[in-house]
Amino acid sequence: MQMLKSLLEVLQSMEEMQTKDGDNMKLLTARSTTLTANVRQLLSTVPYA
Instruction: Give per-residue pLDDT as tens, 1-49.
Output: 777 788 778 777 776 666 666 777 788 788 888 888 888 888 888 876 5
Distance between start and end Cα atoms, the chain:
24
Decide if 49 is inside a domain. Answer: no
Number of structural domains found in the chain: 1
Contact (CB, 8 A) for 17 and 31: no
Instruction: Give the helix ranges, DSSP H, for the chain.
Output: 2-16, 22-44
Q: What is the pLDDT of residue 43?
A: 82
The answer to the question of residue 46 being in a domain is no
- Asked if residue 31 is part of any domain, the answer here is yes
Whole-model pTM above 0.95? no
CA contacts within 13 A on the Cβ side of 37? 8
Instruction: Give dist(CA 32, CA 49) in Å, integer.
Output: 28
- Asked if residue 22 is part of any domain, the answer here is yes
